[in-house]
Structure 1
Amino acid sequence: MTARIHATYWLETGVDPQLAAETIAGEQSSGTFVALPNETPELKARSGARVERLEVLGHSDKPSLTGGIQSKRHTQCVLELSWPIENFGPSLPNLMSTIAGNLFELRQVSGLRLTGLRLPASFAAAYPGPAFGIEGTRRLSGVARGPLIGTIIKPSVGLSPEETAEQVKELVAGGIDFIKDDELQADGSHCPFDERVRAVMRVVNEHAERTGKKVMVAFNVTGDLDQMKRRHDLVLEQGGTCVMAVLNSVGVVGLHELRRHSQLPIHAHRAGWGYLTRSEALGWDYAPWQMLWRLAGADHMHVNGLRNKFSEPDESVIAAARAVLAPVMNEAPMHAMPVFSSGQTGLQAADTYAAIGCADLIHTAGGGIFGHPHGVAAGVEALRESWVAAMEGVPLERHAEGSRALKGALEFWK
């Protein structure tokens, strides 16, 4: 039996749902808007997309999106399509064109969102997935249990390499596990990439020599392919243990090529995710989207955080984290580590732990650490102790009775 790609959508249409489904299937495979002589039944049977499922959910009198066919009745459906793998082979760029290409702008569509994806085993053979994932990240960071406690260098831009290194010095002395560049920090004249890496790694390496703990720093290597490879090589040469790439900026080809070259974990930032998902009637759910990036080689995937500063609700954040922790496919789990960020403090630890059932994650806090009234070290300790309380099932206020740092944090986190 021919292996097939299966994609599931939420569809809204102002025409007959079966007609809309067939239009989408044709547009994304062998169909044309007018029948041609060489568009034979045999060709359609071999290469055409199939409508596997069409389930009506409800109706409305207004379209979710403008620009489509005018109608007084719009139908919402679950639509599942499938394509034979022979159409384009196990190729992530061409998969993207097929499952998320021209279908969104069809006139028959007044709402369309990709909600699920199942891939043949040939994708696992073609793409290696994360080289390090959870196990490798724990090994390199020296954190065997509990989350990696992390932070982001702020201000995100404007600091010199020396000023950045001073912040890093304070953080590593305070016991931090993970530090990352902001996605906006790249290779500007105020803080050139090479100078920043050398200045930061001097601090990290000196601390590691004294204590035996090497803090993981994710340097933002985002750029052209040659730039990313060269920047990765500098981080590796300086003893670094992580690089970071902005997914929507480098694309699946860029990430895959970085993965092929990299000897370090790849911290994947999702900047720009909002324009792909914020409209409930258009774009992607996180679960299918993150599959592509894990196949391409992402070791860490950002999922936002509970009670975050953005518009994403908590249930969406938890669904994203669970998706990252779940296997990409049965043949290749490709586990990656979810990264919680955005307005985070220890107040979210217990709910996060309860929701995902494990502590295989990176929990990053900026102000939640730097704003501690007793200093950065106390901020790091307070966030770590909040996770101890969460994992042991102890109320935060009670656990704070034995931790001066946590007790002090509770005064400003709220």
Structure 2
Amino acid sequence: MERVFAEYLIETPYKVEQAAAVLAGEQSSGTFVSVPGETEELKKRFAARVEDIQLLDLAEEPSIPGGNIPGKKYQQARVKVSWSIENFGYNLPVLISTLQGNLYEITQFTGLKLMDFEVPDSCGTHFTGPKFGIKGSKLSCDVSDRPMIGTIIKPSIGMSVEETAALVKSLIDAGIDFIKDDELMGSAANSFFDDRVKAIMKVIRDNEQQTGKKVMYAFNISDEIDEMQRKYDLILQEKGSCAMVSINSVGLAGTKKICDRGELVIHGHRNGWGMLNRHPLLGIEFPAYQKIQRLAGVDQLHVNGIQNKFWESDDSVVTSIKSCLKPFLGGNEILPVVSSGQWGGQAVETYRRTQTTDLLYMAGGGILAHPMGPKAGVNALQQAWTGAVDGLSVAETALKYPEFAESVKKFGK
């Protein structure tokens, strides 16, 4: 029978073999005490198996509270566990409940993080994955040999519909490929969702009629499921191409429901990610997280950025980008969305470490605060990526392109 395999980083004051067995039992057929129905036949078919254990460091103090035993040291280890596909079939919420359920609360662990998982090939016939992904997203914006260049509506909240539409027009005139609502934008008192969609899409359609280029705008439809469906329909009615979902806020089933419609590119915003990942021995690592979102069908997913404004290391960001580009169940790769304090200066290091232009490269202040205006800001980002792909340094690129040179003066410090 086909099996799902998951790898965890754990920490425990108990024997690792004992703690791993508790994990496997708690997340399948077992509980804290034997019960009459847990027959050998049942366990053989449905019990999780501990497949591998690799011992790592020994810690003097527990990484997180709970399970503390005076005088004990805390063994860290990599543990691989597997389950029969029969346990959950192709039910994504139950699969994730199995991989990430009560095990975070088990006394035996003073640290536990889901690092990665693998599903059998049969999942490819039940989960269609991203409908558009990298290829569809770039094709929609008529971009091929460079990253899509995008930005975010700022200020995040407070602008009127008319002000937002005017900003969108200036960004479109500047040559932008992609614009998105900030995750804080829903339907504010002075900017109702329906009014905003209609005003913005009129600007986008007018530009498409004049130039032939259709800018992608990700409208934030995050809401209750029925209301998300209504908002989705409005975007379609107005000839839009993309909807944004705050995937951690909406939840897995809500995200998948929207993705399953398959008519709009789905931009997955991971706000709240630090809550899931920031502690080194608690939560989930991005290689596992992005697979969950690909199973749900998300087309674009935030990965943070090199030299970002947040806590995440460059190594972690690079791992995230590369994990999005790895084939998974033979479907479209999910488009990595590089953001968080980006300007053209990070393009050189981003390209050097990832060797890809299959990105949505987002800059807010890096475009809007450019000293020569938004058009120069967009040009500077395109120039930065041209220089990066050509093997030029930041200084060499600045000598070649005046708009990028002004970016260096403004943001280079």
Q: TM-score under structure 1 normalisation?
A: 0.97
- SS of the residue 2:372 aligns to: coil
Distance 2:149 2:25 in 1: 49
**Map of 1:62 onto structure 2:** 61
Q: What amino acid does structure 2 have at the position aligned with 1:34?
A: V
Contact 2:12 2:75 survives alignment (8 Å): yes
Distance 1:98 1:43 in 2: 17
**Map of 1:190 onto structure 2:** 190
- SS of the residue 2:104 aligns to: helix
Distance 1:32 1:135 in 2: 46
Structure 2: state its 5+ residue gaps.
Answer: none
**Map of 1:86 onto structure 2:** 86
Contact 1:229 1:261 survives alignment (8 Å): no
Identity %: 45
- SS of the residue 1:261 aligns to: coil
- SS of the residue 1:94 aligns to: helix
Q: TM-score under structure 2 normalisation?
A: 0.98
Distance 2:111 2:405 in 1: 49
Distance 2:175 2:68 in 1: 59
**Map of 2:173 onto structure 1:** 173
1:13-412 counterparts in 2 under 5 A?
Answer: 13-71=12-70, 72-329=72-329, 332-412=330-410
Q: What amino acid does structure 2 have at the position aligned with 1:150?
A: G
Following superposition, the deviation at residue 315 of structure 1 comes to 0.4
Distance 1:369 1:378 in 2: 8
**What CA RMSD, in Å, does the superposition of the two structures yield over aligned residues?**
1.1
Contact 2:66 2:109 survives alignment (8 Å): no
Following superposition, the deviation at residue 307 of structure 1 comes to 0.7
Following superposition, the deviation at residue 277 of structure 1 comes to 0.4
Following superposition, the deviation at residue 189 of structure 1 comes to 1.7
Following superposition, the deviation at residue 69 of structure 1 comes to 4.3
**Map of 1:9 onto structure 2:** 8
Q: What amino acid does structure 2 have at the position aligned with 1:383?
A: L
Contact 1:149 1:178 survives alignment (8 Å): yes
Distance 1:374 1:395 in 2: 22
Contact 1:370 1:379 survives alignment (8 Å): yes
Q: What amino acid does structure 2 have at the position aligned with 1:37?
A: P
Contact 2:132 2:332 survives alignment (8 Å): no
Contact 1:326 1:333 survives alignment (8 Å): no
Distance 2:156 2:192 in 1: 13
Contact 1:244 1:266 survives alignment (8 Å): yes
Q: Note the alpha carbon deviations across 1:331-358, whole angstroms, 9 max, x for none.
A: x233111000000011110111111111
Distance 2:200 2:356 in 1: 31
Contact 1:90 1:122 survives alignment (8 Å): no
Distance 1:165 1:203 in 2: 7
- SS of the residue 2:58 aligns to: strand
Following superposition, the deviation at residue 396 of structure 1 comes to 2.7
Following superposition, the deviation at residue 402 of structure 1 comes to 3.3
Distance 1:23 1:133 in 2: 39
| Higher mean C-alpha displacement, 60-69 vs 265-274 | 60-69
Change (3 A) 1:91 1:39: same
Contact 2:51 2:82 survives alignment (8 Å): yes
Distance 1:137 1:160 in 2: 28
Following superposition, the deviation at residue 65 of structure 1 comes to 1.1
Q: What amino acid does structure 2 have at the position aligned with 1:41?
A: E
Q: Note the alpha carbon deviations across 1:129-164, whole angstroms, 9 max, x for none.
A: 111111111111111220011100001110111110
Give the number of aligned pairs. Answer: 411
- SS of the residue 1:205 aligns to: helix
- SS of the residue 1:9 aligns to: strand
Distance 2:110 2:226 in 1: 41
Contact 1:232 1:262 survives alignment (8 Å): no
Distance 1:139 1:15 in 2: 53
Following superposition, the deviation at residue 399 of structure 1 comes to 2.7
Contact 1:305 1:340 survives alignment (8 Å): yes
Q: Note the alpha carbon deviations across 1:224-258, whole angstroms, 9 max, x for none.
A: 11111111111111121111101101111111110
Distance 2:227 2:410 in 1: 42
Distance 1:402 1:16 in 2: 61
Q: What amino acid does structure 2 have at the position aligned with 1:382?
A: A
Structure 1: state its 5+ residue gaps.
Answer: none
Following superposition, the deviation at residue 81 of structure 1 comes to 0.4
Contact 1:14 1:74 survives alignment (8 Å): yes
Contact 2:151 2:362 survives alignment (8 Å): yes
Distance 1:3 1:371 in 2: 53
Q: What amino acid does structure 1 have at the position aligned with 2:89?
A: G
